[in-house]
Amino acid sequence: MTSPLLQVENLCVSFPGTGGARVRAVDGVSFTIERGKTLGLVGESGCGKSTTGYSLLQLIKPTSGRVIVDGIDIASLSRREMRPYRRRLQIIFQDAAASLDPRMSVGDLIGEALDIHGLARGTARLPRIRKLLDLVGIPARLLQRFPHELSGGQAQRVAICRALAVEPMLIVCDEPVSALDVSIQAQIINLMQDLQKELGLAYLFISHDLSVVRHISDRIAVMYLGRIVETADKHEIFGSAAHPYTKALLSAVPVPDPDMERTRERIVLRGDLPSPANPPSGCRFRTRCPVPIDDCAQIDPPWKTLSETHHAACIRIQGIPETSLFEGVRY
């Protein structure tokens, strides 16, 4: 078996808070991303999704933990040592227009990435830029346009093109379609899937929209207040979600069948997301959970195994003993 492209182990990111307290935005997050696959990271605003994505690229320095790319822990590298990995790991931001330098044309935005990494020089530079723009569906006539002259969909395509220019292995997608119209969202998602197949890309797709995540992801990790509470293949998440928080998120996804929409149960969470500077004791979700028990306030829920690919952190879940997963398997 090949090793995963990206392996995150016990990642923590904290910031100084008021009164000397530390705000633990990301608290012990672990996951892997396989080559050419997509992991969807979902959760409410403020749960630490974007901070997790930024820390993988060292845009925010992790407080502790490991980020392993091809066997190398890049979290421990200096800025100079990190530079070769900038090519392998890229990011697409939520607001494409804000992430593009307004003083640079489309051609210069793409060419800058080529110049920094020495990927195309002299007469090879312009043909390379044109080829990259064609790859994302941007016509050559927009080469001299500036970001304010582009539509939202065009700006996002340019942002994708800039990420692709350095031939990355993994792209962190920080809610890349949430600011776009629904019809444009579908175009961008289809483009990203086509690029993944053609170039063998891996994605960390960050979003609060489970409908979009279901369409593009192979696996899904559900995040709450700095921690991942459930992870599984997308079919297991949508077909047999185990954690109460995951079930609440799924109940909020609209169903196109009016009769089913009227009769299905909607789980409404009480209260607001607690402060990461002062999280609840025991299970962090217990203050909003619809089915809490007394032990939830005392026990930090361990991971329970529901199948070889499905895990959740809730003391009410009856897991499967690890040994039973391999019964009848021959090597």
Instruction: Kindly state whether residue 220 falls inside one of the protein's structural domains.
Output: yes
pLDDT for 222: 97
Q: Mean pLDDT in the chain?
A: 89
pLDDT digit string, tens, across residues 101-129: 999 999 999 999 898 888 888 888 899 99
Distance CA 178, CA 183 (A): 12
Instruction: Kindly state whether residue 86 falls inside one of the protein's structural domains.
Output: yes
The CATH code of the domain that includes 290 is 3.40.50.300
Instruction: Kindly state whether residue 1 falls inside one of the protein's structural domains.
Output: no
pLDDT digit string, tens, across residues 239-249: 999 999 999 99
Is residue 326 predicted with pLDDT exceeding 50? no
Is residue 1 predicted with pLDDT exceeding 70? no
pLDDT for 123: 85
* Region 13-25 average pLDDT: 86
* Region 216-221 average pLDDT: 96
Distance CA 111, CA 129 (A): 7
Instruction: Kindly state whether residue 170 falls inside one of the protein's structural domains.
Output: yes
Instruction: Kindly state whether residue 152 falls inside one of the protein's structural domains.
Output: yes
| Structure tokens, 287 | 């203050």
Is residue 191 predicted with pLDDT exceeding 90? yes
Is residue 330 predicted with pLDDT exceeding 80? no
Total domain count, the chain: 1
pLDDT digit string, tens, across residues 124-164: 889 999 999 999 999 989 999 999 999 989 999 999 999 99
Instruction: Kindly state whether residue 164 falls inside one of the protein's structural domains.
Output: yes
pLDDT for 111: 92
Residue 257: pLDDT band by 50, 70, 90 thresholds? Answer: low
DSSP string, 118-164: T---GGGHHHHHHHHHHHTT--GGGTT--GGGS-HHHHHHHHHHHHH
More confident position, 227 or 268 = 227
Domain around 149? 6-326
Q: What is the pTM of this model?
A: 0.91
Distance CA 156, CA 133 (A): 12
* Region 9-35 average pLDDT: 91
* Region 300-311 average pLDDT: 93
Of 172, 241, 169, whose CA–CA distance to 210 is shortest?
241
Instruction: Kindly state whether residue 136 falls inside one of the protein's structural domains.
Output: yes
Instruction: Kindly state whether residue 331 falls inside one of the protein's structural domains.
Output: no
Conformational region of residue 220, where left means phi above 0, alpha means psi within -120 to 50, and beta covers everything else: beta
Is residue 324 predicted with pLDDT exceeding 60? no
* Region 31-51 average pLDDT: 94
